[in-house]
Chain A
Amino acid sequence: MFLNPYYLQIGSFIAINALLGLGVYVTLSTGQLSLGSAGFMGIGAYTSAILTARYNYSIPVGVVFGALAAALSGVLIAIPSLRLRGVYLAIVTLGFGEILRVAFIRLENLTGGAIGFPGIPKLGGTILERLKASSAGARIFSSMNGNALESLLVFAILLCITLMSAAFFALQANSRVGRAFSSIEMDETAAESMGINVYYYKVLSFTQGAFVSGLAGALYGHVASYVSPADFTYHRAVEILVYAILGGAGQVMGPLVGASILTTLPEVLRFMSGYRHVLYGAIIVLSMIYRPQGLIDSETSDWLRKVFRRKRFIDGGVK
């Protein structure tokens, strides 16, 4: 049951989507509404794909450089966008994503154009080979179904990365940086008059969001082993925003819950066949009517923390 590759794959996509939702969360924690996640995701995915498939770097190197490339472009977008507020920033970041998508299509010799980039080394396959090469690994795993094992490994790795990122953001929220972020979100002018370097922290939160989105994109490439410009469209950006807001963008746990529900929902609604996305949209509208602050607000988060305190879970570890 738990080794069913289908469930494990959904689990892997939940982890990646949760990571993307965290990117929106951290950017929004300084009051910046960004719709650039799909673009940053694309930068991460293509960077890592090119490094690993063309230049034979190992996957971890590719993923790290993918995330760094996204973070760098995040800095480049964040600095000129500091003057923009609210909806203006959202649309400019959306535009950035659209420009990137057109660029991914046009830069054919780098990205493979509209046809996409096939043959990205698979995360699971590579690790599996390593394990089989060692004698101890071969003994343990020889009895198990290779396919299921691969999916399990991928899921475990992605879950680890997502939970670690969530833990990082949860710790950061209670740190000097996190307090600076929330003071900027409340009132920028007041924060500035208290001596907080507003520009620095806004660029920092935007860049962190870009980094996490790039990381998720790079990992996505190595899970799907194929990416195309169609993976990083306006729809993707909007979907990612919905994960964070529907889950509750005020808490680290919110995007995790939002991504889990909204990634599972289309699978659960499979029996509706053609109409499942219509129902999916209706559920989004209803949940905003009944819970405009998101499913997880500070009250539910405190309650969950109390419940899990005995188990010594940190805030981000609850899923």
Chain B
Amino acid sequence: MLAEQLINGLTLGSIYALIAIGYTLVFGVLDIINMAHGEIFMFGAFAGMLMSMKLGAPLPVAFLGSVALTAAMGYVLELLALRPLRRPSGNMEGNAGLSTLISTIGVAIILENLSLKLFGAENQPFRTSFGNVKFTIGPVNIYLIQIVILLASGVLICGLALWLKRSRSGRALRATAESPETAALMGVDTKKIITTAVVTASAMAGTAGVLVAMSFSNVGTRMGVSMGLKGLAIIVFGGMGSVNGALVGGIILGMAETLVVAYGDSGYRDAIAFVIIIGVLLLKPKGLFGQNAS
């Protein structure tokens, strides 16, 4: 059943890609890894699950609700934990990026412990009405959920790529990623652009959260860290700041994990991501799609 495994891998990979693109967007404009990204993803998953299961909201509404929540979390993150650390100049001894990194770690600690308090430590089931609907094409079974995930992530990723490439604000974002100072001199409101990037990244994490919750049919507070780590592995593998890299890296990792679990030892699943990136980085120190000029 290789075909089924490949579909499973593609589904998982497209979710990984969504998470990784969030990291990449923030890294692009701020040059830091947002260590709270995985936790925001987890809040998105819980928000979707709670709205759908406890409040009985229809799935699209739960989806939008969770995107709104995570977008708001992204805004608060930027406002309280990132912006105050971006001073034009001042007493910056050592690496200024490190303090922002630690600040996002602080936010991750807050969110992780808050989630334990709010949602409890146990995994909670998430059932959708179409959880078991599947189509059979020849010998291959495809679940409706998988199609939903592939469609949703496909639309999102294509939309994001188009926005970055074509729209005025997308161009402004890429200019800011290239050089914040020059972009600001050209009249780009970099503050607004950075906020947009963080909010968009968080909203994508929220979407990914609901999709993961649907495909695994349960949510737990620990999924933030494990997905966060995988997202990190993917952006390093694909090359920091590259949307294509995040997409390709996500799908490769999803495939590799699914195949190892299907045909190998599932105990090593969580190590695969890092074995791959260490191998790739030794050959290409800036990732597959990274620019090699430093």
Q: Are A and B co-members of a single complex?
A: yes
Per-residue interface assignment for chain A, residues 232 to 253, with 1 indicating a CB less than 8 Å from any chain B CB and 0 otherwise: 0011001001100110011000
Known: A282-B106, A284-B102, A298-B93. A98 touches B80 (CB 8 A): no
- Nearest CB on A from B84, distance (A): 4
B274, A297: Cβ atoms under 8 Å? no
Interface-facing stretch out of B107-115, B131-139, B201-209: B107-115
Near A by CB (< 8 A), chain B positions 14-35 give 27, 32-33, 35
The answer to whether A106 touches B102, judged by C-beta atoms less than 8 angstroms apart, is no
Give, as a whole number of angstroms, the nearest-CB distance from A78 to chain B. 13
CB nearest neighbor in A for B239: A88
Closest chain B residue to A90, Cβ basis: B33
Point out the residues of chain B lying under 8 angstroms from A245, CB to CB.
98-99, 101-102
Contact flag A95-B99 (CB < 8 Å), given A234-B229, A288-B106: no
With beta carbons under 8 angstroms apart, the residue of A83, A278, A292 that contacts B96 is: A292
Determine the chain B residues whose CB is within 8 A of the CB of A98 once the complex forms: 229, 270-271, 274
Q: Which residue of A lies closest to B100 (CB)?
A: A288
In the complex, how many angstroms separate the beta carbon of A247 from the nearest chain B beta carbon?
Answer: 11
Question: Beyond A98-B271, A293-B93, is A285–B106 a contact (Cβ under 8 Å)?
Answer: yes
Does B267 reach chain A (CB closer than 8 Å)? yes
Q: Closest A residue to B232 by CB, please name it.
A: A91
**Chain A residues positioned under 8 Å from B99 (CB to CB):** 245, 288, 292-293
Chain A residues with CB under 8 Å of B92's CB are: 292-293
| Given known A-B contacts A88-B286, A284-B102, A293 and B94 have beta carbons under 8 A apart | yes
Which residues in chain B, 259-274, are within 8 Å of chain A measured between CB atoms? 267-268, 270-271, 273-274
Q: Is A102 an interface residue (CB 8 A)?
A: yes
| Residues of the A chain whose Cβ atoms lie less than 8 Å from the Cβ of B35 | 238
Bound CA–CA A250/B96 (angstroms): 12
Is A26 an interface residue, CB under 8 A from the partner? no
Give the residue of A80, A106, A242 whose beta carbon is less than 8 angstroms from that of B267: A106
B81 touches A88 (CB 8 A): no
User: Known: A91-B232, A96-B278, A102-B268. Contact between A278 and B103, CB under 8 A?
Assistant: no
Quote the shortest CB–CB distance from A52 to chain B (angstroms): 28
Q: Which of B80, B274, B275, B285 contacts A83 (CB 8 A)?
A: B285
Within 8 Å of chain B (Cβ to Cβ): is A200? Answer: no
Main secondary structure of the interface of B (DSSP, over half): helix
User: A234 — which chain B residues lie within 8 A by C-beta?
Assistant: 225, 229
> Within 8 Å of chain A (Cβ to Cβ): is B185?
no
- Pair B103/A289 contact, Cβ less than 8 Å: yes
A291 nearest CB across to chain B (Å): 8
Cβ distance A245 to chain B, nearest Cβ, rounded Å: 5
Residues of A within 8 A of B286 (CB): 88
Residues in A whose Cβ lies below 8 Å from that of B274: 94-96, 98-99
**What A residues does B94 contact at CB under 8 A?**
249-250, 293-294
Query: Which of B80, B117, B270, B275 contacts A278, CB < 8 Å?
Result: B117
The reply to whether B93 and A289 form a contact with Cβ atoms under 8 Å apart is no
A195 at the interface (CB under 8 A from B): no
CB neighbours (8 Å) of B81 from chain A are: 285, 289
In the assembled complex, how far is the CB of residue B214 from the closest CB belonging to chain A, in whole angstroms?
26
Please report A residues at the B interface, Cβ cutoff 8 Å: 31, 33, 80, 83-88, 90-92, 94-96, 98-99, 102-103, 105-106, 234-235, 238, 241-242, 245-246, 249-250, 274-275, 277-278, 280-285, 288-289, 292-294, 297-298
Q: 29 pairs across A/B with beta carbons < 8 Å?
A: A33-B98, A80-B282, A84-B285, A85-B294, A87-B240, A88-B236, A88-B281, A94-B274, A95-B278, A99-B271, A102-B267, A234-B229, A242-B105, A274-B117, A277-B110, A278-B113, A278-B114, A280-B113, A284-B105, A285-B106, A288-B85, A288-B99, A288-B103, A289-B81, A289-B103, A292-B85, A292-B96, A293-B92, A293-B93
B residues with CB within 8 A of A: 27, 32-33, 35, 80-81, 84-85, 91-103, 105-114, 117, 225, 229, 232-233, 236, 240, 267-268, 270-271, 273-275, 277-278, 281-282, 285-287, 294
